[in-house]
Structure 1
Amino acid sequence: MKLIDRMISSISPSWALKRQVAQKKLEIFNSGYSNHGASGTKKSLAGWNFRGGGPDEDIVDNADVLRQRSRDLYMGGATLATGALKTSRTNVVGTGLKLFPIVDYEYLGLSEEEEKQLKRTIEREFALWADSTDSDACRQHNFYELQQLAFLSQLMSGDCFALLPMKKRKQSVYDLRVRLLEADRCCNPPILNGKNIRGGVEVNEDAEVVAYHFLNRHPLSFYTPGAPLPPPKWNRVLAYGDKTGRKNVIHLMDAERPEQRRGVPILAPVIEALKQLGRYTEAELMAAVVSGMFTVFVKSDSPENPVGSGLSQEETLPGLDNNLQMGNGAIVGLAPGEDISTANPGRPNTAFDGFVTAILRQVGAALEIPYELLVKSFTSSYSASRAALLEAWKMFRMRRIWFAADFCQPVYEEWFAEAVAKGRIYAPGFFDDPLIRKAYTRAEWIGPSSGQLDPLKEAQAAKMRVEEGFSTRSRETAEITGGDFEMNVQQRIREEKMRREGGLLDGLPTGGGETKYVVLDPQQD
């Protein structure tokens, strides 16, 4: 016991006991994170203003501001924000993820030839629907363009919604339509009726999403003369049909917390950094313009006289242009009492590029886009540039798989069900067993390839992966060129046949695993 504790104990034992208890509590509390990130006594953390909440408080209550600021950055508030979103859109979706059916023919009891014919039928029928703007409820985009729009909207706004109505149209074989809705349309109705609704998403006591509430118009739309807005009305759409269990609403959202109802724009963590960087860039650009124009200020002791005219106010001729401009070798006379001073902002700023680069590296880390890809500048070595691309493609591939599973596959399964119901595709047992349904609708969605810094090295690596059994020719063909290996083989057979029939080449394999081509004599059979 310390001396001061003994002194207190001799004077007031009860006070000393309370002091001992308090010290023991402090020893218990000051352990683990309380000495580090959770410390409330360290000077570096004492001034940290923090307040946490649930997903609804932290995300839903701030979603409207985040969405509008993110869109403002995309529309011109920061050019790099536009580039970041479009870079992700182009690499993840590109011109659209293409369907590659993978029918489980062994489980379905089909032969290889039957499986091949079924795949071709599926691809042909799906192209009939997907390549047409009839797949869009608004009749503006085909299915692949809808993919681009839905993915970009999800990145920009945090989430995007898609309805799957059935609507008949003339000269349209299929009735399935995709109706995209922007994130703002899903919002709380004025009367909740005791339901658990936040951000327009209704859940039950088990936190299961049961319905979505959509406004009949965009909440940020303005009144325009001659085209008055309809009165606000909310429509409650069940997440799944009561009788059929059909998925009515596709909610594209990149969740980051359990029980999260609404998404967060991808730019949310870097909104402040991008906005300040945009302001700094504009200031530097204006300073460079001023410096390049060699601006001169004329100081005058006689404000009643026009600057540099040498004339009094009464002697100024009407209609005479008295504005002074810099010219090549020009000599301008100044009036008595006038002097000049030059404006030299000292631009361009030599520290500008280094500072911007440092900020963009942090922004790129938050967006999972390496700096080289963010600014489209590959000035490093081949190994460094390839490492940056590989790191970026981890994120692109992850988002592609997520987007295909949450958007493309559900739409494809709904289309497949309609095609079977209408007899366009023969699939026995499709509606009887979910496992049979899954066997028919298995598919991969192929997107743009990662690109090649050195095509020769990439091709050799792909060949080695196939030969060692790490990959397949179909997968490598799809990832490198985005093509179809089976169709490539068939096309090659036709081409080689045409060349042989034309008397150009004879591709007969010889020893050593190589193929030697011999020029034929036109008279030879």
Structure 2
Amino acid sequence: MSWLNNALSHISPRWALNREAAKQSFEAIKGYDAAKPSRTHKAKKEGRGANQAVFAAGKSLREQARWLDENHDLSIGILDRMEERIIGAQGIVVEPQPRDLAGNILDDLANELQRRFGNWSLKPDVTGRYSRPELERLVLRTALRDGEVFGQHILGKVPKLIHPNEQGTPYSIEALEPDFIPYELNDVAKRIRQGFEVNAWGQVVNYHVLLDHPADQQGFRYKTKPIAKAKMLHLGLFKRLHQLRGISLFHGIMTRLADIKDYEESERVAARISAALAFVIKRGVPDMFNPEGKPTQDIKFSPGMTTTLAPGEDIETLESNRPNVHLVDFRNGQLKAAAAGSRGSYSSIARDYKGSYSSQRQELVEQDESNRIMQQWFCAGWSRPVYRNWLKMEQLNKVDPLILPADLDINTLYDGVYYGPTMPWIDPKKEAQGWEMMIAGNAATEAEWARARGRNPAEVKRQRKREVEYNRENDMVTDNDPDKTLGESNSEKNSNKQNARSNSARRDRRQRRADRTARDGESE
């Protein structure tokens, strides 16, 4: 009975009884069993808005996730695997795709843009401490663990800042942890919610950013500055519509991870205690003890030793049931559930790679789609805005000016292909044969094949061309080289060349005779 009915029962018991009966009748006519609370089904509900729910729990979840990332090996492993499969060692690869007015890719301009972007990627952030792949991995880890991450575009000249990149591009990124946008900053009159200033349509207009990290503040300094949305990057994990702040990837598995850690620690301590207890000495009745009251002997164990016991004493060894034989099965079951709630792969998290080729490939295929989703999320929220802002500012580079060709379709200047690590190969021979069949059937391209191996197609072509030319110049024969003259003797080559020159000379003579005949006919 609710508190209101309890109060009414003292004033009008019949009224309270009727209210309770109506409530029970309403519960009885609900169309789904899952909507009916019972002794075995609590039917827990969440009626709050997305922002209310995040405001109530977001900060606590963020801090708990950080603790797990600092102290729990499995939690560290989940985030490490996400970094490897989403960002990888080379970071998100960007292939510029500028085209001319006829729709053809301008290879020279694309290669120049890629070279310049690679030079800028050495020091892209304002501190100059991280390369672009390092920064992207840190940004991803922060977004997954804390639920979100921010970045400010620093464009052009800024007081007291020298852009760390040495290529003359006036652009850097200031990466910010979510602590810089305070949850507690709310102002109804100014339409500020959890540090975000929004308009009537729910669009973010300004981010109110603290001047210092809350943990680094001294005294009573608690000042914020508004930064326009166009100058900020916000990469967040969102689970509901209208949600302003992101939520940690661990929000659904946090209690499970904490329980796994506590349980393993308890089992580990129990095993250590059991291992330390080797034996006990059993004594008989009191009249069998040493009559002089002297303590019994100390027994120091060593391999192959023998000893004697005092009257009335006996040695009993202790049998330990630790480690628990069911620990591995229980732990693996919990890890499978944790992997399901974190977009992760059980095998990579648990380091359990048992199974056939088919089962391992099936897991990789399913995990690959999850990785692609996360890569698309990261590219859309971080990599693409960064590349486009860099290219915009690169055109203002005065140290090494960028020259655009006259036939460039300016609408395609910012086009590009973004991709990260691809699905690893279990059996390279089978994978290569599959790609060859798809290319032969016009179902795939060589560029897709190169990207599937995590390589830049243009760079692969350049290196391959260089190798083929070197092989031909040095008479090196390979199975995939179409040059039929490789491997022939010098005399055969000279003969073939002489025949080719003779054939060419004969063709030239025939052409000259035909030209003379045509001129004679015109003169007649």
Give me the TM-score of the superposition, normalised by structure 1: 0.78
Q: Deviations over 1:222-252 (max 9, x none)?
A: xxxxxx8364333233333xxxxxx211001
| Compared CA separation, residues 341 and 214, structure 1 to 2 (3 A) | farther
Measured in 2, the distance between the counterparts of 1:347 and 1:371 equals 26
Counterparts of 1:63 and 1:325 in 2: how far apart (Å)? 57
1:124 positional shift: 1.5
CA contact (8 A) 1:89 1:152 kept: yes
| Residue 416 (structure 2) pairs with residue 466 (structure 1) | no
User: Equivalent residue for 1:141?
Assistant: 130
In structure 2, the gaps of 5 or more residues are 1-13, 156-160, 285-289, 495-524
Q: 1:459 to 1:337 in 2, by over 3 A?
A: same
When residues 352 and 188 of structure 1 are mapped into structure 2, their CA distance, relative to the original with a 3 A threshold, is closer
Equivalent position to 1:381, from 338, 356, 376: 356
Work out which of the residue numbers 446, 452, 468 in structure 2 matches 1:496.
468
Deviations for 1:122-153, whole angstroms, at most 9, x for unmatched residues? 111111211x22x2111100122111110011
Paired residue for 2:522?
A: none
- Distance in 2, matches of 1:499 and 1:471, equals 28
State the 1:293 CA deviation: 3.7
Distance 1:256 1:496, change over 3 A: same
Distance 2:212 2:312 in 1: 65
Q: CA deviation at 1:399?
A: 0.6
User: Contact 1:164/1:176 (CA < 8 Å) preserved in 2?
Assistant: yes
Structure 1 residue 89 displacement after superposition: 0.8
CA distance in 2, matches of 1:37, 1:407: 41
Q: Secondary structure at the match of 1:445?
A: strand
Cα pair 1:60 1:261 within 8 Å, conserved? no
Contact 1:508/1:515 (8 A) holds in 2: no
Q: How far apart, in 2, do the equivalents of 1:85 and 1:409 lie?
A: 23
Whichever of the two has the greater Rg, that structure is: 2
1:185 Cα deviation from its structure 2 partner: 1.7
- How far is 1:179 from its partner? 0.8
Name 1:362's counterpart in structure 2: 337
Q: Which residue of 2 aligns with 1:69?
A: 64
Q: Which residue number in structure 2 is paired with residue 391 of structure 1?
A: 366
1:249 to 232, 239, 245: 232
Q: 2:402 corresponds to which residue?
A: 425
Pair 1:412 & 2:411 matched: no
Amino acid paired to 2:361:
R
Q: Could you say which residue in structure 2 is the equivalent of 1:161?
A: 150
Q: 1:501 to 1:429 in 2, by over 3 A?
A: closer
Deviations 1:264-283 (A, max 9, x none): 11111001111111111112
Q: Give the corresponding residue for 2:244.
A: 261
Q: Which residue of 2 aligns with 1:7?
A: none
Residues in 2 aligned to 1:146 and 1:137: alpha-carbon distance in whole angstroms: 11
**What is the percent sequence identity of the aligned residues?**
24
Which residue of structure 2 lines up, in the alignment, with residue 347 of structure 1?
Answer: 322
Contact 2:109 2:404 in 1 (8 A): no
Coordinate RMSD, CA, aligned: 3.6
For residues 398-456 of structure 1, the C-alpha deviation after alignment (integer angstroms, 9 at most, x for no partner) is 111111111011011111111123373344899xxxx9665211111232221110101
Q: Which residue pairs with 1:319 in the alignment?
A: none
After superposition, the Cα gap between the structure-2 partners of 1:52 and 1:490, relative to the gap in structure 1 and judged at 3 Å, is: same
1:101 and 1:473 mapped to 2: Cα distance?
Answer: 18
- Secondary structure at 2:263 match in 1: helix
Residues 260 and 331 in structure 2, CA contact (< 8 A), matched pair in contact too: yes
> 1:49-448 to 2 correspondence within 5 Å?
49-77=44-72, 79-95=73-89, 96-103=91-98, 105-106=99-100, 108-109=101-102, 112=105, 115-130=106-121, 132-133=122-123, 135-166=124-155, 167-169=161-163, 171-188=166-183, 192=187, 194-221=189-216, 229=218, 231-240=220-229, 247-296=230-279, 326-329=301-304, 343-422=318-397, 424-427=401-404, 438-448=411-421
Aligned residues: 461
Q: Is the 8 A contact 1:504 1:520 kept in 2?
A: no
CA distance in 2, matches of 1:186, 1:69: 18
Alpha-carbon distance in structure 2 between the residues aligned to 1:508 and 1:206: 60
Matched residue SS, 2:241: coil
Q: Name the CA shift for 1:341/1:429 in 2 (closer, same or farther; >3 Å).
A: farther
Instruction: For residue 165 of structure 1, give the secondary structure of its aligned residue in structure 2.
Output: strand
List alignment gaps of at least 5 residues for structure 1.
1-14, 222-227, 241-246, 302-307, 314-321
- Tell me: CA distance 1:386–1:173, structure 2 relative to 1, closer, same or farther (3 Å): same
Residue 418 of structure 2 aligns to a residue whose secondary structure is strand
> 1:436/1:522 Cα in 2 relative to 1: closer, same or farther (>3 Å)?
closer
**2 CA distance for matches of 1:87 and 1:386?**
17
Cα distance between partner residues in 2 of 1:333 and 1:232? 75
1:469 is displaced (CA, Å) by 2.6
Query: Does the CA contact (< 8 Å) of 1:287 and 1:345 recur in 2?
Result: no
Within 1, Cα distance between the matches of 2:257 and 2:326?
18
CA contact (8 A) 1:101 1:119 kept: yes
- The answer to whether the 8 Å contact 1:465/1:471 transfers is yes
Q: 1:354: Cα distance to partner?
A: 1.5
Question: Which TM-score applies when normalising by structure 2?
Answer: 0.78
d(CA) in 1 for partners of 2:69, 2:213: 19
Shift of 1:323: 9.1
